Homo-oligomer: A and B are copies of this chain.
Amino acid sequence: MIKELTSRRFFTAAECNAQKEMPLTTLVQRLIEVATEHANAIDIGYSRLCQYGCTWVLSRVTLEIDRMPGVNEYYSLTTWVENVTRLYSERCFEMTDDGGNVMGRARTMWIAINVESRHPADLTMIEGMGEAVNHDKVCDVVRCPKPRVVKEPDGEDCYRFRTCDIDFNRHVNSTRYVELILDHWPVDFFDANRVSMFDISYHHEALFGQDATVRCKTGDDGVHHIEIKGDDATFVLATLEVVSR
């Protein structure tokens, strides 16, 4: 059993955001890719879950970022499974530069849902899941408090989910919500500030054609709280912290 997997990547100019760094959305996408690669390598991936009529769904991502990769920089993502319960599996990540310095850390939470019923499956039923846990590696990411819905937002944006927002699970893909959140601020906000912490939890799946409202409120401590809300349900809750550049 391969208890951890490291993938070294090259970051190109073409992938950069306006600040000439890796966008937060790309980082989330890369974490999902590396998670998928590791899950496949230890045979708890997409194909395997298919046999159980299930699919992996990302439930939560917490990121702590010291520095993002820049143009023409190599970076490595290391991932391992921190724990598995009946309801969810936690998978952690460390991003390092070629000098071995830690650039960021992440903890993600995954559930398996039944493709037909859309209900969560019991992960302990899936053979080999328990053995995947790496007891030797510690994840330093602080566990965020349970996020709350946003009351009396400072600002609201509206969006209708479209064709390119939909993934293979036929619901809105995980990174599109991250974009909707970042898009709440103008580009010069991120010229002046960089994201130091980001926490997003996925509550209810949004489907093609559904309307969403992005509701934001900044606390007295400067922490930004975001809710992406549909007509009948909360799709996503998130917390964003920035520091001046």
Which residues from chain A sit less than 8 Å from chain B, CB to CB?
10, 12-18, 20, 23, 25, 29, 32-33, 35-37, 40, 45-47, 56, 71-72, 162-164, 166-168, 170, 179, 182-183, 185-187, 189-190, 208-209
Contact = CB atoms under 8 A, between A and B. Distances in A.
Given A162-B183, A168-B20, A15 B40 contact: no
Contact of A33 (B12, B163, B185): B12
A72 B208 CA distance: 25
B164 A17 contact: yes
A168 B209 contact: no
Nearest to A186: B163
Contacts of A46: 12-13, 71-72
Contact of A13 (B15, B168, B182): B168
Given A71-B46, A186-B208, A187-B208, A167 B16 contact: yes
Contacts of A45: 13, 72
A29 B14 contact: yes
Given A13-B36, A14-B29, A36-B14, A164 B182 contact: yes
Contacts of A170: 18
Residue of A13, A23, A45, A182 with most partner-chain B CB within 10 A: A13
Contacts of A209: 186
